[in-house]
Amino acid sequence: MDMDDLCFNIATFIGGIFLLDYGADKFLDHTLAVVIAAILQHRTPLALGIVMGSAISNILGAFSLGLLCHPGGMEFDTSAKIYSSILLGITTLFVALALADLLNRVTGILLIAAFVIYLLSIGYAIYKGVTAPPEMSDSDSDSDGDEDASINGEERAPDQNNRTVSESSPLLETADSRPQGDKKPPRRLYQHVFHLFFGLLALSLSGYILAHSAGAIADALQLSGTVFGLTVIAFATTLQEKFISVLSGVRGQGGVVVATTAGSNIFLLTLCVGVVAISGIPVGSKDTCLV
């Protein structure tokens, strides 16, 4: 074992995690980028380990932390129960396919189709008002800011009215006399395209770095790709979900905790597993996936 190469790969792995977090800010989920990078490097056991480890980490890590951080008994609404039921069905299907060794291109296409159907059905349910849309961390922080503004609005209004008034002051405020900075100007289209482009670039680059460095570390430590993906990478790629669950648990938002866990696992067990199955790269006997 070359310690210099091992330390370099570990440092590269840590740097890839930070780059992954930057790219993930522009997209819903970043695990797929690491899975695709692992498949392109012919490391299917590593890709399967990442998917399974992330799913386990979401339930035993993120969901459990959300429950622990809640001061009392957490209440779950109808939407949370619907998401949990869908996750139970998809998890049962994945376990059956894995035990029967049926993860092939046909089942991969079916899993991706199931993910598309899931998105359409949830969108239709939200449109009909059957369920509520899952809340995300960014929208939560924005809504909190809006709530604070509405709560303190009555206190801020007198402050604005307490301005010095003279005989020469106009009776009606003009656009120029209104305080600037209350509203930020909207960003232009090219700025959004610029951020999305660099977010996608960071996401792709971080996926390649993580997959390559993780494979090198696993080889240096003589570990299978599945084991390394189940442990280290799975924990590193689910830090964002854990952070959201902790904040939601502190605020008592049980629906957000369930939606974060269920939505992430449904994404992993349908789209990510479907991509791995469609790749058609057989899993070696040394790294056989055990459920």
- Least confident range from 28-32, 74-78, 267-271: namely 28-32
Instruction: Give the burial class of 39: count Cβ atoms within 10 A of its Cβ; 0-12 exposed, 13-18 middle, 19 or more buried.
Output: buried
pLDDT at 141: 43
> Is 60 exceeded by the pLDDT of residue 176?
no
Give residue limits of the domains in the chain.
Answer: 3-137+187-278
Higher pLDDT, 253 or 18: 253
| Residue type (1 letter), 50 | I
**Which pLDDT belongs to residue 202?**
67
The domain defined by 3-137+187-278 folds into A middle domain of Talin 1 (1.20.1420)
How confident is the model over 67-115, as pLDDT tens digits? 888 777 777 777 778 888 889 999 999 999 888 888 888 999 999 999 9
Residue bearing the bigger pLDDT, 49 or 176:
49
Q: What angle do CA 114, 116, 118 make, to 5 degrees?
A: 70
Rounded to whole angstroms, the Cα distance separating 193 from 198 reads 9
**pTM across the whole model:** 0.64
Task: Report pLDDT for 148.
Answer: 46
Tokens 């994404």 identify what position? 267
DSSP 134-173: PP-HHHHHHHHHHHHHHHTHHHHHHHHHTS---TTS-SS-
Quote the radius of gyration of the chain (alpha carbons, Å): 24
The whole-angstrom separation of Cα 216 and Cα 210 is 10
Average pLDDT over residues 175-189: 56
